[in-house]
Structure 1
């Protein structure tokens, strides 16, 4: 029903646009309308998007403003084949054509490479406010391992910032909407001298929370008790005086300063300093089912916790991730919000060696800091909450020479990247079933440190023979990562004492003589164990002589690879091109940041690779009033990285996270986009993608409810088979000074699943046999349903383009859908998407 309503709404607004055009159009429209050309730098030189032989979606900055697209995740509304998911710990997961990496470790790279003006955004968490003051966005689909480096097995997104202007210009954009959301941005641009010009852009946003726990007030059968009382009784809800009844407020600021200096006609130097601060609330989970890992020791109040209504806003959470039960030495209480920041500075030098050769150097340094608290158990109990402090410092250097000799164009260059990341997690779990049963254990921490170094050299050549252009590119990359980490006692000595008792028992079970390998874990020290060997302990039941020894884990990954691309373009007519490509791309190996019992969980995964085949057509038709792009693709996928699950080797903690490699899988599909400009002021856009994914080789691992399954035949998580986008925009004069404009856009995504799993096997597992005997986990517990959302806007604008004012709505039919459906310790939960939002906006240009 909601799907039909959404389609009806989109059709109605589209019809309104077309009908209004018929009613108020001028008697004679200008003849200079059509689908406009967009110039892109997908091959690190300026050229029309329809002359580049690969799948690219390019969007002008003013289009993003008109459609109120303010985050990278909202690009799903306008980019076919692009999907966005929020990881369980809040980090963004970008995927193109089904290829993504669902992980929250700061040192992990995305399968989609991210850039601002060709300067790398090294880690996904740094891409928080990339749409500030843009000239355009370019989304490149398929492996981009040659010119845009490794770690792009899915594609690349390049955010092109608006540049300083030769004359003074200024602008302001402001919006006020539901949940008291205020967003304002502005820019100043112009020359300082004859050779120096600059541009400053700023943006700020603030809102109140959109998640609410009002539904839980007065519920019975729920315990929110003193942490010292782990009785099995139930009591009425009691909420502290500081309890937040709303969550999801936004508080952020971003800025960019670009200065261009051209001392001579052959030399241009560009300085770019940009950054942001984010103090927004984190998102609470929406509890679906209590699923205790330790069945003999369930925490009954959690098992009987009422689940919220099935709407986008309902959730529940702990008011703090750090309560006053902790010693004063641990630190003050922390709310469920972020205190994150990012700063990047870059310098680009372009020097014309002669009329055919350009030498380019791009140097950048960035610093990222992260500090947030998040409640992911979906209740006001302290079942599982996370605190995360992290930082990353990255230096990047690219040096290249580009040549343009008419029919021959080439680029030769090298890259160097060095990064250091550190991450400290805090886990608040003293009402988790595992810890209630595990010697009444308490909270814990985890520390991870990872220096990274990449060195690469690349070359790309394009040669044109008549109507045929041939492409060839290659890149050699060497990647080195060192890793140190462990799970730690929180500092109060409780978990240290517990593992001092447990580990000798585990070693005794392996045949280690009594009194040998006794741990002496101190408060704050590592509690997770390395698995070591000693010849004295070899026995028929322990053939390797293994034993557990608490301490830091140390791992290294040193890998190299050769990415390449071969392609051909055939210019059938001046506006129609056929193309075909075959390319190989890599994503570097990685290490996880997870809470572990055994340090074996911290072992890294090796690099993944994609061998991609693509063919397509780009056709400008009917005097450029129609642009049709069609592409088909097939990806041979090796060693796909995923955040999988293994059984705890200690036997206490159930199914635990670990990074894994799937040996072999494949992705194939097709994509089409259609742009139509049938008359002056009217623009129609349609796009669709079909993606078919499958694991094609035997691979055994655990699903989220503890079944050991063969992944062969499973589809990829977070990958809808069908994806459709559509939009209609119309603008026309009502008099010689005023225009009216309106538009609507629609996004449809078919159903997907949040984790690798089989519904028929999930539904064979008991949900909570102690409290609910015979009740099984629903087979659809991890499904992401199909959904349709519709956005719309209508307003007026000055004929000369100096100002615009409009009202807007997002998800105007209030579709209830969710970005993730997953499991963590005792919880099966969702992360819901925003409900309907609406507001008014203005834009001025001077």
Structure 2
């Protein structure tokens, strides 16, 4: 139960936001009407989305959706950043990782999962070219040659299923074309950074076209490990990815799009830095130097991924049949010096110097076996008048093996002294249906149902323990079924303004956590391998979507509130350095979101996004182990020594405020154009863990980018200078809480030059 103070605040927020929602169209229309655009003034392109599994104008879809066009994606990826670059660039979105480029963790409206296990499930679903990417390693596939990005916030359980109670993020690759064309991008930057990207497309037969897309990103090592002498040792990488597509379209009534893709990554794993947090604060130490670390373990990361999908569509006139077949497989290995420093050998009690750890901890995780198959059949109606519908079947099968290794750092060569393994088979199937009915010319109702059956077979064992005996195989078989639903309505208040309301449920299947490497073998098996029961979410949302000012301004505004029952949470790290799954009785979230795009002048285009997300864990008896590091816990003491009660805390990695802004100003110069493009993203402070402490709280973070360039020949050629994190912000974005005050950082400032040619 919320305290009276929080409840009153929530009511004031809700009342204010509701008043803004109701007044926004009436305020905006007269203001915009005061200025009449010139006949040649630029207009906004219509945005079509597939959030409801069919192509629709974004203004007509009754949920909060944000898109990102190709130019913005290319500006953000110029410096070779991975998928985490989207963090804060879309309302209510945060992304972080303790694995670096390989394992992103997504949070939407505060809902996410801090679990670092290769078997972890997330409540944010990522769909790439129509195929769900379930394993967290799959979610890091690079962004290149995309038509665009969509993010639909709120439960998407009816049409997408597969663990999407927080929302979905959809990537759609650029399709093959029946005319020859393509592009090439080459960029160079500081730290010997080289980024290459390109595509070529065209016909390869009478009814077949193809598209080959490639990407290569590399950066030299630039961080010196002073523990082994001078010279740059860490933070470099080399990543390659490719995608080959064939589109077979013999008639207007049938098409088949085949896609094969691959990824290879080699480089540095996440670089942990011991003792970088100033005790009693959450600030970096005064003697901190981003260009240096002192570690006595090995740091390396390799990843190989291959996959393919086949999407087919048959048009039978009154109905169309869709088939999506997907396959993914990934092999990954990541090893790091988890304590983030060299061992402290001075007198006790410390203080520790920068880069010193109280005891060595070096480990690795591997995913030597992984494969995922999915199949969907969907039938949709084609313009049935006032009523349209779609229905389908979905099947999912995944098999994985996770290996965990421990190393003794003290002997020369870091000898392996521990090995544990997990294996899981996950099968799920679902049947779903949805429809929309035009009640009147201005009001449309939508609704849907989805029944899901999810089953897991899991086994974990410790073969060799670094501090304890082997642990015999422990087997669990969680399963559950669920009926998700949604109901929404869209009212056309005017030709340019739509109002909508939506209520929806979501579901995340049971999760299993069995990291046994450092576990106490004397504990009962249900404490060694933990199972989180299914979580369900009930969400309410209302909003307005409008196109104003002679189609030069588009906005969307949404209010939402959700309740998660039995939310799956992960208590990570702590003094025992293990991860444990728990269910909270309830978590609640509420907030507001704004999307805006506008041509402010004939040459200035801006986008703005804003979100307020207020989350709270509500469970008076739930406690988790506090940090093993020298931190300052702020929560009440729990019933067991070393634990803290977390009732009333916000969800981890859930900033209350997220803002983003882009602006592009173009100046015509004959047949060319000089342009300035800038983008900024802000998030407020976050808790790194379920418990609250002074040291493990991330400060607000503001990062910006800048791009100056010239394009000519109707945009066929472009040369630009770019900068990322141009203010050189240095921020702690995550931590390791079992050994000293160890943290990891945001990406450094980078500068570069890029050339692009379209042909």
Matching residue of 2:10: none
Could you tell me which of 82, 91, 104 is aligned with 1:71? 82
Which residue of structure 2 aligns with residue 111 of structure 1?
Answer: 123
How far residue 645 of structure 1 moved from its aligned partner, in angstroms, is: 5.9
5 Å-filtered alignment, 1:678-689, equals: 678-689=600-611
Within-5 A mapping of 1:482-497: 482-489=457-464
Match of 1:417 in 2: 396
Contact 2:222–2:232, Cα closer than 8 Å, also in 1: no
CA contact (8 A) 1:731 1:742 kept: yes
Q: In structure 1, the residue corresponding to 2:742 is in which secondary structure? A: strand
The equivalent of 2:314 in structure 1 is: 351
Once residues 275 and 263 of structure 2 are traced to their aligned partners in structure 1, the CA distance between those partners, rounded to angstroms, is 35
Q: Note if contact 2:433-2:448 (Cα within 8 Å) is conserved in structure 1.
A: yes
Query: How do 1:644-723 residues align onto structure 2 when only pairs under 5 Å count?
Result: 644=571, 654=576, 656-698=578-620, 699-705=622-628, 707-723=642-658
Are residues 1:81 and 2:92 paired?
A: yes
Matching residue within 499, 508, 529 for 1:578:
499
Distance of 1:269 and 1:485 partners within structure 2: 41
Shift of 1:124: 2.0
Q: 1:218-267 CA distances to partner (integer Å, 9 max, x unpaired)? A: xxxxxxxxxxxxxxxxxxx6x37xx9743111101000111111123211
Q: Tell me by how many angstroms 1:151 deviates.
A: 0.4
1:478 to 2:490 alignment: no
Deviation at 1:88, TM superposition (A): 6.2
Q: For 2:200, what is the secondary structure of its paired residue?
A: strand
Per the normalisation by structure 1, the TM-score is 0.77
Q: Quick one: distance in 2 between partners of 1:93 and 1:555?
A: 25
Q: Structure 1 residue 41: deviation in Å? A: 1.0
Cα deviation, residue 307, structure 1: 7.6
Structure 1 stretches lacking a partner, 5+ long? 1-27, 218-236, 292-305, 321-335, 433-440, 500-526, 529-550, 648-652, 760-779
**Aligned 8 A contact 2:432 2:449 in 1:** yes
Deviating more after overlay: 136-145 vs 97-106: 97-106
Q: Trace 1:273-292 onto structure 2 (pairs within 5 A).
A: 273-288=260-275
Selected match of 2:422 from 445, 448, 460: 448
Alignment of 1:151-300 (within 5 A): 151-213=163-225, 217=226, 239=228, 245-288=232-275
Question: How much does 1:447 deviate?
Answer: 0.4
| Corresponding position of 1:316 | 294
| Distance apart, 1:646 and its partner CA | 9.7
Give the conservation status (yes or no) of the 8 Å contact 2:273–2:293: yes
C-alpha offsets along residues 285-343 of structure 1, whole Å, 9 cap, x if unaligned? Answer: 1112799xxxxxxxxxxxxxx989435444332352xxxxxxxxxxxxxxx22221111
Q: Does 1:53 align with 2:62?
A: yes
Q: Residue 452 of structure 1 aligns to a residue in which SS?
A: strand
Structure-2 separation of matches of 1:97 and 1:210: 35
- Asked whether the equivalents of residues 142 and 241 of structure 2 are also in contact (C-alpha less than 8 Å), the reply is no
Q: Conserved in 1, the CA contact under 8 Å of 2:296 and 2:337?
A: yes
Structure 2 residue corresponding to 1:563, chosen from 478, 484, 490 = 484
> Normalized against structure 2, the TM-score is what?
0.85
Match of 1:796 in 2: 710
Q: Is the contact between residue 627 and residue 737 of structure 2 (CA under 8 Å) also seen in structure 1?
A: yes
Match of 1:633 in 2: 560
Please name the residue that 2:144 is paired with. Answer: 132
Contact in 2 for aligned 1:469/1:569 (Cα 8 Å): yes
Alignment counterpart, residue 814 of structure 1, candidates 718, 722, 728:
728
What's the counterpart of residue 400 of structure 1? 378
Shift of 1:751: 0.9
Aligned: 1:36 with 2:45: yes
Given that 2:260 and 2:306 are in contact with CA atoms closer than 8 Å, whether structure 1 keeps it comes out as yes
2:104/2:136 contact within 8 Å kept: yes
Equivalent position of 2:678 in the other structure: 744
Deviation of 1:128 after TM superposition, in Å, equals 2.5
- Which whole-Å CA distance do the structure 1 matches of 2:706 and 2:113 have between them? 32
Q: CA deviation at 1:641?
A: 1.6
Q: Any idea what the Cα deviations from partners look like across 1:709-754, whole Å, max 9, x if unmatched?
A: 221111111111111111111123111x211011111111111110
Give 1:360's aligned residue: 322
Q: In 1, Cα distance between the equivalents of 2:277 and 2:62?
A: 51
**Separation (CA, whole Å) in 1 of partners of 2:449 and 2:175:** 31
**Residue-by-residue CA offset, 1:270-299 (whole Å, 9 max, x unaligned):** 1011120111211221112799xxxxxxxx
Check conservation: 2:688, 2:698, Cα contact below 8 A.
yes
Q: 2:192, 2:219 within 8 Å by CA — same for their partners in 1?
A: yes
SS at match of 1:398: strand
Q: CA separation in 2, counterparts of 1:836 and 1:408?
A: 53
Bigger Rg, which one: 1
Which deviates the most, 137-146 or 371-380?
371-380
The alpha-carbon deviation at position 402 of structure 1 amounts to 0.6
Alignment of 1:731 onto 2:694: no
Q: Structure 2 vs 1, CA of residues 290 and 719 (structure 1 numbering), >3 Å: closer, same or farther? A: closer
Residue number in structure 1 paired with 2:5: none
Q: Is 1:793–1:807's contact at 8 Å kept on the other side of the alignment?
A: yes
CA 1:832–1:738 in 2, change beyond 3 Å: closer, same or farther? Answer: same
Query: What SS is found at the alignment partner of 1:552?
Result: strand
Contact map agreement 1:755 1:822 (CA 8 A) in 2: no
> Are 1:459 and 2:433 an aligned pair?
yes
Tell me which of 781, 792, 795 is aligned to 2:695.
781
Aligned counterparts of 1:680 and 1:655: Cα–Cα separation in 2: 57
Match of residue 385, structure 1, among 358, 362, 367? 362
For 1:614 and 1:488, the matched residues in 2 are separated by: 49
Cα distance in 1 for partners of 2:297, 2:408 equals 15
SS of 1:179 mapped into structure 2: coil
Partners of 1:205 and 1:677 lie apart in 2 by 34
- Which residue pairs with 2:755 in the alignment? 842
Deviation at 1:654, TM superposition (A): 4.4
Matches within 5 A, 1:472-551: 472-489=447-464, 499=469, 527-528=470-471, 551=472
1:35·1:626 contact (CA, 8 Å) conserved in 2?
yes
Q: State the SS of the aligned residue for 1:279.
A: strand
Q: 1:30 to 1:369 in 2, by over 3 A?
A: farther
Q: Do 2:492 and 2:498's aligned partners in 1 also have CA atoms closer than 8 Å?
A: yes
Q: Structure 2: give runs of 5+ residues left out of the alignment.
A: 1-36, 279-283, 344-358, 629-640
Shift of 1:429: 4.5
Structure 2 match to 1:504? none
- C-alpha offsets along residues 546-566 of structure 1, whole Å, 9 cap, x if unaligned? xxxxx1111110111111101
Q: What residue number does 1:753 align with?
A: 687
Separation (CA, whole Å) in 1 of partners of 2:435 and 2:520: 51
Q: Secondary structure of the residue that 1:573 maps to in structure 2?
A: coil
Q: 3-state DSSP class of the match of 1:124?
A: coil
The alpha carbon displacement at 1:704 in A equals 2.3
For residues 277 and 608 of structure 2, the distance between their equivalents in structure 1, rounded to whole angstroms, comes to: 42
Q: 1:805 to 1:392 in 2, by over 3 A?
A: same
1:5-36 Cα deviation digits (max 9, x unpaired): xxxxxxxxxxxxxxxxxxxxxxx976241222
Query: C-alpha offsets along residues 153-182 of structure 1, whole Å, 9 cap, x if unaligned?
Result: 111011011001121002101111121110
1:99 aligns with 2:108: no
8 Å Cα contact 2:98/2:270 also seen in 1? no
